[in-house]
Amino acid sequence: MHHTLVALVEDKPGVLNRVASLFRRRNFNIESLTVGRTAEPGISRMTIVIDSDQASAERVTAYLYKLVNVLQVEDLGMVPAVARDLALVKVAVAGHDRGALLRVVDETRAHIVDTGEQTMTLEITGEPPHVDAVISRLEPLGIVEMVRTGQVAMRRGDTALSAAQYS
């Protein structure tokens, strides 16, 4: 089962290493990990997707809290949340009907962000299953390069995750 953990961490050298090392050390497999800034100065936000059972997700949450630079952890598997993944996909266009590709773009809310002589680059944003689905429709057309950001997620509703209480 997938668990999406969100951690607010202090933006200090080595913090990413500490978090990543924890998952390796405790034998958890990271499916995706993203880091970025938050609205609060000095606070970064990590979104970590792991494949584990509920008990293991609770264990890893406790281990994350043991890291001195980790301020708050939330398991978004437990609450209603909105999740987004973004992919850039370069698809071959030479040698087959461009119409097939444009149909996929039309029907899936993908965006064309670049065109070359031999390829076209699409941006796909959405829930991870949506991105998966679009990619599987593009595969028969010939994907020559692809990148995914990994998932970011946020709880729905007015409740906000903030490090303010720790300042």
Name the residues that contact another protein, by CB under 8 A: 9-10, 13-14, 17-18, 21-22, 25, 55, 58-59, 62-63, 65-71, 163, 166-167
Q: Which is nearer to another protein, 6 or 104 (CB)?
A: 6
CB 164 within 8 A of CB 147: no
Q: Which is nearer to another protein, 25 or 99 (CB)?
A: 25
Rounded to a whole number of angstroms, the minimum distance from the CB of residue 162 to another protein is 12
Rounded to a whole number of angstroms, the minimum distance from the CB of residue 35 to another protein is 16
Q: Which is nearer to another protein, 68 or 94 (CB)?
A: 68
Query: What whole-number distance in Å separates Cα of residue 124 and Cα of residue 135?
Result: 9
Query: What whole-number distance in Å separates Cα of residue 76 and Cα of residue 19?
Result: 18
Query: What whole-number distance in Å separates Cα of residue 28 and Cα of residue 156?
Result: 27
Q: Which is nearer to another protein, 11 or 127 (CB)?
A: 11
Query: What whole-number distance in Å separates Cα of residue 33 and Cα of residue 25?
Result: 16
Rounded to a whole number of angstroms, the minimum distance from the CB of residue 18 to another protein is 6
Query: What whole-number distance in Å separates Cα of residue 109 and Cα of residue 100?
Result: 15
